[in-house]
Every structure is written in structure tokens, then in C-alpha cells.
Chain A
Amino acid sequence: MLVAKGREKREMKRLRIGRSHSKQQTKAKSLKEVIQQWNLLNPEGAIPVKLVKLAPRLNTLEGKTIGFRANGKQNSDHFLNRIAELLTKQLKDVKIIKLWEVVPSSFDYPPKPEDIQKIAQLKPDIIIGSQGD
């Protein structure tokens, strides 16, 4: 009888362990794999775009006033200096304005409104800008 009771106890213990293990497995499964329906808010933000109309384009640079605008970084002015040389050699009656010389803060980013006005008052027909980076 004692042996039978011992066997019964062991069997009960085995069943309890088995049930507990099974519960843990179910809990682990539910923690890992909870698939649910989410209602989520989009974090991007809409873009209230106001369309900008570009300026009319030129069909020639001959006889035109060309504003050169460097971004203040190394070689942006040297690059534009060479473009200015080539334009003056190859095209007739081209007038060059190096904006970094006449409006030194013209490379500020963003450009100051007063500098934009100063540049516009020079009446360039086109502005060629260059980064140097």
C-alpha cells in the first residue's frame, strides 16, 4: 500500500508539473505572438504645398547680365570664376556680376530678405549658383 501511495504521489506530481509547464508554454506563446488589431495615428504630417511658378527661361546668354552666386565653401568662387572666363570668351556682350564681391553675405543660407532685394536690384537676367563642398 505504501508503494502504491508513493506511486500515486509521483504520478500526481508528474501531472502537476506537466500542467504547469503547459500553462507556461501557453503564456509564453501568447506573450510572443499576440496578434491584435491596432488603430494607429500617422506620424508624418501632411505637406501643405503651395506650388511655386518658376521664372521664364532664357534662350540665350548673349547680351545678358549673369549673377554668379557662390555658397561660401571652398572653391565655389573659383569654379564660378572659371565659368565667367569661359562665358566672356565665347559669348558676346555678357556682363558678369560676382555676387560674393558686391553682396558678401549672399551665400548665407537661407539668404536674408534684404540681400535678396539687393541682388534683385542689380537686375541679373539669370543667377548661376554653385556649391563648393
Chain B
Amino acid sequence: MNQIDFEKLGIPTVTVVTNSFVGDAKASVLGIGVSDMAFVVVPHPMGGISLDAIRAKADAAFPDILKAATQWKPTVTKLPPAKSPYVKSSKFTGTYADVNKMFFEKGWSMGLPIVPPTPELVRAMLKGTSHHPDEILWEVPPRGGALTVKLAAIHAVMAGCRPEYMPVLLAAIDGLRSDKMSWRSATTTTHPNSPLVIVNGPIVKELGIAYNTGAAGGCYLPNVSIGNAICLIARVVGGAKPPDADKSTLGYPGNMIATVIGENEDANPWEPYHVEKGYKKSDDIVTVTVGGPPVNWQDHSSTTMEQVMRVAAGTVNYPGQNGSCYRTPFQGWGGDVFFILSAEFASLLKKDGWTKDSIRKFLFENGRHSIGELQAECVEIVEKRLGSKVTAETLLPASSSPEQIQIVVSGGMGKQSQYWPTCPGGPDHAIMINIDAWK
């Protein structure tokens, strides 16, 4: 919850936060120039308890809230001095293993081995882009570290990227830094959000970005190293680390290495994703979103594609999905979801006469659950959203409109595919960036 904007307008604030999240709250405010805020800490949790229990917590917190509202004064904490974004270098004596140990202990890596970022390697990496090394790309939330092109190159070196991968990495950062991505929200919540980066255009084959069998599974240097660099930047420059800033309850490997895949344009029987969105086939494009984790679905025995699609529809709206009761039809709430079809399913669907639009329509109409199957208080939430009465039998779809179901073909042969849900607080729509701008 961001209350800083009200403080800037001269309106004092008090913020109630649970003891499990107060570390996250304090870390976040430091990154935006506030040394202290009036927090009132209550025992976790607040959600998932009865009305009587939450009222009792309010009773217990009331004296502290009154005190925070009328007696609290900010303590004077020394903030890090404001300084120009520049990259420091330092001398270190030790073995390669010692360098890795030092980086991890300082919070400069995530525990996987890194390639030590020497000036020589970073200079070589910077040859991958024409952008000036001192160009400031992003003050990465929640810590607010200034990411320059040079700093991105440092992380690219650490992650094992080659210089020719830099334009893809920088284009992905260009997408993630957009205000519409809600990066601060996405990386500090309990939901294990991670970036999904889809690459289209000739650059996929030029760089050897995997788009066929196992494309999302590791073992392909461009995919893994770019994904690794993105997460290093998020953790180290942005400070989105568990347990304080990144509150992902459990997390998953995508929080360590972002998923980077090429679209399998050879196997896509319809138009490539970027062409569908108005680009030329020859354009090199990156599509970025934040959400997940992905859900795999399969159907090895259905004999009709309609039955296969019924299995898919049942997958895309699983009841435990975050924000499932927020996706009221045509209310514009809830972000794009990604339906990543394997080469085999795409081919079979096309042969059976399906188009991307008919797939979307089918999933929107059939991928629904009744509100009664979703989490408690869904009736109340949906009624507030719609401004009208609903019942437990009212059906909710996986997205707020068919157009928010994005269809991409990636992966190889095999009757398996993946669904990537979105997350409330994340982006409404994926962002597409032309990689040429970063070459």
C-alpha cells in the first residue's frame, strides 16, 4: 500500500501492517526517500480470519493507531547520500570461489555461480548495444537502484550472457520498467510473480533462442542467461529479495531465472504473435508480462479437438488462481493471460478448423467456475465490482474479456501445453518492445 503520495500532498498518514510485512514496508519506503513512516504493527494474519477475530484485532490496535495519528514524530534516519548513478569498482584478492562467496554474502548474487564482472568483460558486453553506458534505464523498485546500460551489462556478464544478447535483455528491461507493468507491486507481494519474455522475429534464430522442445526448461544459453540477468537485476539492483521485500510465500524457480522463450513461428499455423499485434514478420519484438507460475496441461486420449479444448478450458480457470473472483466479464479487471500452445496442439487445432479467435471465445465461454467454488467473500467482491447482485451460481471466466487471452505457439511436439495466469496488482496488458531500438 503506497501512502507516500498523500504525504507529499500534505496529508499525514498512518498505515496498519502485520508483523510479517513490516520489514517489506520499511524497506520499500527507504527506496523512495522516506526515512520513517507511521506504521502500526498488528499480529499476522488479517485475511482468512473471522469477522469477530478481525474486530478484536482492531480493538487491540486502536490505542496504537490513535497514538500514531496524534503523537508520532518521524525519527531522523540517515538515508544513503544522493549521488550520481555510477558504477564503482573495487579490488579483491582471492580465488574464483572466494569471489562467488563474497558476491553472495554481500547480496550481489542469488547463490548460483556468477561470472565475475571485470571491467574487460563488461566492456566486451557493452559492444552488444549502441546505447551509452551511462544511460539511465530504470530506478528499479522497490530499492530504487539506478540501472544504467553499464550496470545491465554487469549483470549480463554475471549471468553468462553473450554480447549479442544485450539488445534482447535491454528490450525486456524496457518493457518491465513501464508504469503499466506495476513492477513494485508484482515483486513485493506474496504471489510468486515472475517475468515471462516471448521473443519474435528473425533474431530468435540468429541468436539461437530456444523455441522448440524444452524451450522453457533450461539448457539453452540465450534463454537461461537472459532470464538469469533479469532476475539478478530485480534482486540486486531492485532489492526484491525474500524475506523482507519479496514476500513470495514459497516462490518457484521462475523467481530466480525468468522464463524467456521464442515463439515457434515455423510451427504456428496462424499468424505469429507479433504479426497479430500489428508488427511485420521481419520485426524483432519482445513481449513482456509478469505473472505465473505456469500451469501445464495435457490431453493424450481425447479424440476430438473440442474435448481437448474442454480440458484446456478447465485448466485455465482453476479455482485457486490468484484474483479468480476479480475477473468479472467486461469490467476491464484482471490482466492478460497467456495460452502457450505446443506445436502439436496448434497443428491439430488448425486442421480441425480452429482459429485464434474461436479458441479465445471457447476458453472465455467454457473456462468458468461458479462463484461458490471460489474463495469465500467472492460474492461480495464481485457485487462491488459489478454494482449488482450475483449468486453463488454466477459463473466467472478466466479473463475479463476474450481479447485478454493471448495465444502463442512455443515448444515442440507432444500433447502438452501451458497456461500462464496473471495476478491482480500486475500488468493489465503485456508490453511489446521493438528490439531494434536496443541494438
Contacts and interface: CB of A to CB of B under 8 A. Distances in A.
B206 interface: no
Contact of A49 (B48, B65, B79, B108): B79
Given A41-B87, A41-B119, A59-B70, A110 B185 contact: yes
Contacts of B94: 35-36, 38
Given A75-B49, A120-B11, A42 B80 contact: no
A52 B12 contact: no
Interface in A86-126: 86, 104, 107, 109-111, 116, 119-120, 124-126
Interface of B: 1-18, 20-21, 31-37, 44-49, 51, 54-55, 57-59, 61-62, 65-66, 69-74, 79-96, 98-99, 103, 108, 116-119, 122, 139-140, 143-148, 151, 154-155, 158, 182, 184-185, 190, 232, 236-237, 377, 384, 425
Interface in A31-81: 32-52, 54-61, 67, 69, 71, 73-76, 78-80
Contact of A130 (B15, B93, B139): B15
Contacts of B35: 51
A41 B117 contact: yes
Given A40-B116, A54-B74, A78-B55, A111 B146 contact: no
Given A46-B85, A56-B10, A128-B16, A83 B108 contact: no
A59 B73 CA distance: 10
Contact of A127 (B3, B87, B88): B3
Interface of A: 32-52, 54-61, 67, 69, 71, 73-76, 78-80, 82-83, 86, 104, 107, 109-111, 116, 119-120, 124-133
A119 B85 contact: no
Contacts of B182: 109-110
Contact of B145 (A46, A69, A82, A107): A46
A100 to B, nearest CB: 8
Contact of B80 (A49, A58, A74): A49
Contact of B15 (A33, A49, A51, A129): A129
A84 to B, nearest CB: 9
A76 to B, nearest CB: 7
